[in-house]
Amino acid sequence: MSLDTALLAILACPQDKGPLYYLESEQVLFNPRLRRTYQVRDDIPVMLIEEATALDDEEFDRLSASVAGIAPTFEA
């Protein structure tokens, strides 16, 4: 199931307050600025800084390539 578009439009990174990229197939919200992801569990974004996943270079590059053509949650 996909996140509601109204919810996506207001989601921001809890740390830097910037936009995120929703990768539905991965069930994560991706913040390329901080190189981390936030999981989406049972269609609920887990937006806790302490539960974010820090990305290594390989995973960061993979996710960065996969957001091509995907709009961020909002325009900064």
pLDDT greater than 70 at residue 45: yes
Q: Is the pTM of this model over 0.85?
A: yes
In a domain, 39, yes or no: yes
In terms of Cα–Cα distance, which of 15, 58, 56, 57 is closest to 38?
15
Is residue 76 very low, low, confident or very high in pLDDT (cuts 50, 70, 90)? Answer: confident
pLDDT tens-digit readout, 28-44: 999 999 999 999 999 99
Number of domains in the chain: 1
* pLDDT of 52: 98
In a domain, 14, yes or no: yes
* pLDDT of 1: 63
With beta carbons less than 8 A apart as the criterion, state whether 24 and 15 touch.
Answer: no
Q: What is the CATH classification number for the domain harbouring 41?
A: 2.20.25.10
In terms of Cα–Cα distance, which of 27, 53, 31, 49 is closest to 40?
27
Give the Cα-Cα-Cα angle 48, 58, 71 (nearest 5 degrees). 60
Give the structural domain span for 27: 5-66
In a domain, 36, yes or no: yes
